[in-house]
Amino acid sequence: DGGITQSPKYLFRKEGQNVTLSCEQNLNHDAMYWYRQDPGQGLRLIYYSQIVNDFQKGDIAEGYSVSREKKESFPLTVTSAQKNPTAFYLCASSPTQGFTDTQYFGPGTRLTVL
Amino acid sequence: GDSVTQMEGPVTLSEEAFLTINCTYTATGYPSLFWYVQYPGEGLQLLLKATKADDKGSNKGFEATYRKETTSFHLEKGSVQVSDSAVYFCALRGVGIGSSYKLIFGSGTRLLVRP
């Protein structure tokens, strides 16, 4: 089945540690996105990528980093510079570079800082 | 900038009741509009969408009509089921160079349906 997978489902981190969240899609989509969701709020865009080896900052990129070395993969690293990283992280993808298509979401990773 | 406003929840209904979740937006031009649903502990699923004025999106008994004159995209369902209990997000994608790459989300409305 085609879709978006995120791992792990739950992640615990100690303060000061970097962690990397995985996002893989087998939909052959060009564009990929990372969003952050906080309780009782909508989603906010962290980073997005239109094509391999290219990515752009979203609205809340500080303390995060990404890479796009393969079309199907878009990992997100939450660095120790992110002041409040506890949140639900959602990866999404859409078919074309032009951002005119619907975005499809993965199941999410819940990150908790201990 | 672009924004989406949803009615606050939770909305609590009995099974088979009529559902309306209000959504209004602020954006230039003709944005695309979406409703997503999130079940507990899961990601978002696209429920329906509309890309131009007067379009009606529909799926699984849910409907929403793109109303340019009132800048609204209210979600409706004639008869809700317990399995519809979830959080519903209204979202838009703008048309400008600086806004077409992302979705702008409302804060979500939690729906609880009692048997």
B101:A106 CB<8 A: no
Predicted local confidence at residue A41, as pLDDT:
81
Range with top average pLDDT, A102-106, B4-8, B10-14, B50-54: B10-14
d(CA A32, CA A77): 15
A40:B91 CB<8 A: no
Predicted local confidence at residue A79, as pLDDT:
94
d(CA B55, CA A35): 28
CB half-sphere exposure, A95, CA atoms < 13 A: 4
Instruction: Tell me the mean pLDDT in the region B54-66.
Output: 97
How do strand A109-113 and strand A10-13 relate by DSSP bridges?
A: parallel
Give chain A's mean pLDDT: 91
Which among A45, A102, A111 is the top mutation candidate for probing chain B, defined by the most B β-carbons within 10 Å of its own β-carbon? A102
**A22 compared with B99, residue with greater pLDDT:** A22
Predicted local confidence at residue B29, as pLDDT:
85
A104 part of contact set with chain B, CB < 8 Å? yes
Give chain B's mean pLDDT: 93
Which residue in A48, A58, A90 is closest to B44 by CB distance?
A90
Q: Computed over its alpha carbons, how large is the radius of gyration of chain B?
A: 14
d(CA A69, CA A113): 28
Q: Mind listing the pLDDT tens digit for each residue in A73-111?
A: 999 999 988 889 999 999 999 987 655 678 899 999 999
B43:A41 CB<8 A: no
